Chain A
Amino acid sequence: MTYLKDANANEVEASGADPSPSPKVKLVDYVARELLYQGYVASRLTGMTPSNMRRAIGSATRSKYLIALPFAFLLLLIMAEARFLPLNGYLTYPIGVLIWTFMPVFISVMQISYGASAGPQIRDTLLTLPLSDGDVKTVASGALISSLKIPLLVSVAILLIAGLVLGPWLMLAGILAAVLSTALALIAVSAIVRAYRRLGTNSRLSTLIRIITVIPILLFSLVLGYVQSSKVQISFFQATYVPVLNLDGVAQGHGLALIISLVYTVPVAIVGYVAFRRTSVALLSPLTFFASRRGSFRAMVRPPITALVLSDFRQMLRSPRLVGFIIVPFIYVIITIYSSVVSAQSGAAESYPALFISSVLPVAAISSFLAYVLYLTELRGLSYFMTLPLGRFTNVKSKLAVTILFYGVSAALLGVTFTAVTGNADLFIPIVAFMLTVVACVLYTALYFHYTVKSMALGVLGFVNTVVYTIVNLIVFGIPAASFVVALFLYGNFVYPTLILAGSSLIEIAILLLLLVRAS
């Protein structure tokens, strides 16, 4: 409660039950900074003590830029597309803004509330201050929105630049899309938090329903992505009267489309703010689960690796923040299977290499980051975990088991579908070989966390660390994958490319194993 202590003093100084606006604004600022601290500084999650508070806060702030910058880059790309490919650019621009404002807002709120939900301090402190219920909600929602200022400012800055480059109508369409998607993201967060709190039991049914609540959010993004990428030609009616699509009309300067888009954007924005304001205090409270049945002793001893795998899965499925990491790839696989079957039925099946590169490669790439998520899950309770007698490779083996299972099931589903569609089982050869690349990435992730955990006395996941991890993991995955793709175009079959893929992955595995043995 680093910052809230000072805020409390300010409130005490303010005489009477109704504080003047100035302390309330200050309080919003203090709570926003506390949120930043608790959301990103790992000490509250791990039990480790931050040895350098200033460095920890600085690192937390830089993490916010880390989230905002890629989205800013995407917005710039969308703008460039709208400017240089004007035939389909008008529609892609507002839809692009809609998606890439929605995602950073949604991710940031989930991220920040995850840290805050680890303890009741913020909510409890607010409730002990002389504030009405309404004031508490205003402060909580204000602080949460204030904590989003970096991604929001990035969006606004890009949109203003868009106004200069692309003209006022496109800027207006972009601003409407940004307002709409921010409101939708806040509604989505409110809905998920409410679902998680109402279904806060540890029964399997509740877990399943909680997972299902995340799916509409993902589908929303996927549908918009589909609309954006399929370069839909829309009619005048759609560009004027159909919500979201009529942002295209706004971009083209139709006054009626602007009026109609205001008719739905303003209420959605209001509903978004009201829903978020109502949920804001809950967002700052511990996520509580209740027992689904009367307790009884049922613990049993399992093999260590099985116990670790089970524990990782249980924690991921119960976390609103982490469950998406499991669901997104599976939705991707299902959509890929669906589109392959549809393409085959329409006689437009892709060639094997193209099919592989566009479907299996992304699944392998996603799988290569799964170990990172599993290790992140483990950071909760790390201080206790470190007191247990884990062998040098016990934990690595459990992460390997989950990742191989995850990649194996996803890739096998794709392989079976492609075999059924094309009548050729050749694709299974590189599918199996890519398992080696994924194994190399898991070993690298284990090595990374070995050193990160060693430096966790700082109590924060450093910004530079995260960037370095991402880049190196992309290299570890990229070297065999790129060699494979190049060889695939050179040879036109899977035999030599697969040998190159397996060979380069095995070299990586050998080097990483050596480093891991020396490190531990």
Chain B
Amino acid sequence: MTASGEAIRVDDLVVRYGQKTAVNHLSFSVKKGEIYGLLGPNGAGKTSTIKALIGLTERDSGTVEVLGRDIDSDAVWIKGKIGVVPENPVLFDSLTPNEFLELVASLRKLPDMKKTRSLVTAFEFDEFMDTPIASLSMGNKQKVTVIAALMHGPEVLILDEPFNGLDVRSVRIFKDLLVRHTSGGGAVLFSTHIMDVAERICNEVGIIDQGAKVAEGTMEQLKASIHGSTLEEVFLKATNMEKEIDEVLKALE
């Protein structure tokens, strides 16, 4: 059972693809009112972790609880409480955003579309509402998934590289919405490789490498324990990349 105040609890998660172990006995928790950043180099297992969390990838072992409920036994309830932005938004391409958001809102049984309408206006998306999703740019597709993730006022947001392709204005609005969401008691789990963003908005960070957790804590804790002045330095030290980068740069000289 999730400890009081925990929105997400992952225990001893293992995900394997054939012979390859993508997530290796990973445990972490995200508290209510917190933005938890899941950081790691490419192929570290961030996306696999998030997919396992929302049931898109089968777990080999481990448990996942969201808002105190088990993902295996209460998947539908949990999916009603969360908003998800996947890494590669593969959507129903021949639908327009109007039709897609209508489908999502209808399946989520929203009472009305007021909040969706205000999100569409906030992201300046009105003019694209009748353009089939296949014809949208990557950034605009990302806006569709962001609006779909926020439209029902979820308690927990699970976001995989959510700022991919978004313009500066949209990133700013989205970041502020995330901060406002957590200050109202909501929780956010998001993966990113943009250290600046993570440093600015995350309350707690977990760094994973080769599927396993190599460091975890608040910014201050990580900087103190790993002796880095920025999150980037902390990240490179924790994943043993600093020396490797120096050697590569010397070889390039």
Contact between A383 and B86 (Cβ–Cβ < 8 Å)?
A: yes
Complex: A314 Cα to B103 Cα, angstroms: 12
Distance in Å: Cβ of B57 to nearest Cβ of chain A: 6
Q: Which of B79, B121, B128, B134 contacts A389 (CB 8 A)?
A: B79
Complex: A383 Cα to B135 Cα, angstroms: 20
- Chain B residues numbered 81-129 whose CB sits less than 8 Å from any CB in chain A: 82, 84, 86, 88-99, 101-113, 116-117, 120-121, 126-129
Complex: A393 Cα to B117 Cα, angstroms: 29
A286: Cβ under 8 A from any B Cβ: yes
A51: Cβ under 8 A from any B Cβ: yes
Collect the chain B residues with CB atoms within 8 Å of residue A301's CB.
102, 105-106, 109-113
Q: Interface size on B (CB < 8 Å)?
A: 54
B80: Cβ under 8 A from any A Cβ: yes
Distance in Å: Cβ of A520 to nearest Cβ of chain B: 10
- Chain B residues numbered 46-76 whose CB sits less than 8 Å from any CB in chain A: 51, 54-58, 76
Q: Which of B57, B79, B135 contacts A387 (CB 8 A)?
A: B79
Contact between B126 and A381 (Cβ–Cβ < 8 Å)?
A: no
Distance in Å: Cβ of B136 to nearest Cβ of chain A: 10
Contact between A457 and B57 (Cβ–Cβ < 8 Å)?
A: yes
Q: Interface size on A (CB < 8 Å)?
A: 53
B145: Cβ under 8 A from any A Cβ: yes
Complex: A298 Cα to B86 Cα, angstroms: 25
Interface string of A382-413 (1 = CB under 8 A from B): 11101111111010000000000000000000
- Which of A48, A293, A386 lies at the interface centre, i.e. has the most chain B CB atoms within 10 A of its CB? A386
- What secondary structure prevails in chain A residues at the interface with B? loop
Interface string of A18-58 (1 = CB under 8 A from B): 00000000000000000000000000111111011000000
Interface string of A272-297 (1 = CB under 8 A from B): 00000000000000111111111111
Distance in Å: Cβ of A314 to nearest Cβ of chain B: 6
CB-CB under 8 A for A289 and B101, given A52-B17, A381-B91: no
Collect the chain A residues with CB atoms within 8 Å of residue B106's CB.
301-304, 306-308
Contact between B90 and A47 (Cβ–Cβ < 8 Å)?
A: yes
Distance in Å: Cβ of B41 to nearest Cβ of chain A: 18
B153: Cβ under 8 A from any A Cβ: no
Collect the chain A residues with CB atoms within 8 Å of residue B96's CB.
202, 291
Contact between A289 and B134 (Cβ–Cβ < 8 Å)?
A: yes
Contact between B58 and A457 (Cβ–Cβ < 8 Å)?
A: yes
Contact between A297 and B18 (Cβ–Cβ < 8 Å)?
A: no
Collect the chain A residues with CB atoms within 8 Å of residue B12's CB.
none
B165: Cβ under 8 A from any A Cβ: no
Contact between B86 and A390 (Cβ–Cβ < 8 Å)?
A: no
B176: Cβ under 8 A from any A Cβ: no
Contact between A295 and B128 (Cβ–Cβ < 8 Å)?
A: yes
Contact between A381 and B93 (Cβ–Cβ < 8 Å)?
A: yes
- Chain A residues numbered 330-369 whose CB sits less than 8 Å from any CB in chain B: none
Collect the chain A residues with CB atoms within 8 Å of residue B99's CB.
299, 310-311, 314
A318: Cβ under 8 A from any B Cβ: yes
B240: Cβ under 8 A from any A Cβ: no
B130: Cβ under 8 A from any A Cβ: yes
Contact between A319 and B126 (Cβ–Cβ < 8 Å)?
A: no
Collect the chain B residues with CB atoms within 8 Å of residue A292's CB.
130
A452: Cβ under 8 A from any B Cβ: no
Distance in Å: Cβ of B122 to nearest Cβ of chain A: 12
A-B contact pairs, 11 of them (CB 8 A): A291-B128, A291-B135, A295-B130, A296-B130, A301-B110, A308-B106, A310-B103, A311-B95, A384-B89, A384-B91, A384-B145
Interface residues of A (CB under 8 A from B): 44-49, 51-52, 118, 202, 286-304, 306-308, 310-311, 314-315, 318-319, 380-384, 386-392, 394, 454, 457
With contacts A291-B132, A297-B113, A300-B102 known, what are 11 further pairs, Cβ within 8 A? A49-B17, A290-B135, A291-B135, A297-B120, A302-B102, A382-B90, A384-B84, A387-B79, A392-B76, A457-B57, A457-B58
Closest 4 CB pairs of A and B: A47-B90, A307-B106, A289-B132, A389-B80
